[in-house]
Amino acid sequence: MLRPFIHYGIHFGLPLLVALFFFKKEWKKAFVIMVLGLLIDLDHLLATPIFSNNRCSINFHPLHTYYAIVVYILLLIPNRTRLIGIGLVIHIIADYTDCWLMGF
């Protein structure tokens, strides 16, 4: 019961905190860009079933593989892609936490 609150709390709460603390002048824009990291969940449409409550996304879906995670980390380096990278890394942290809470 607590797992969804933690999972979605990280998905939305952590980007909000990062936006408020590090991007004060444009926190709304920063928040929206980081939350757009949720779009990598479109790769769930390739799975059968599309949603499984007990499936760990990490290294199962194409945009959640370790190779993709390396790309997300590299996006943190250039200033132009940093917000996108932060959003994607936060997404992976949320999914990894969800896997950890499942016992994987």
Is pTM beyond 0.75 here? yes
Task: Quote the radius of gyration of the chain (alpha carbons, Å).
Answer: 14
In the block, tokens 């991007």 appear at: 23
For position 47, what pLDDT does the model report? Answer: 93
pLDDT value, residue 104: 73
Task: Return mean pLDDT, the chain.
Answer: 95
Q: Is the peptide bond before 78 cis (omega within 30 degrees of 0)?
A: no
- pLDDT given at position 13: 97
pLDDT for position 51: 85
What proportion of the chain, given as a percentage, has pLDDT over 70? 100
Q: What is the pLDDT of residues 9-31, one digit of tens each?
A: 999 999 999 999 999 999 999 99
Over residues 79-89, the pLDDT tens digits come to 999 999 999 99
CB atoms within 10 A of CB 5: 10
pLDDT (average), residues 29-42: 97
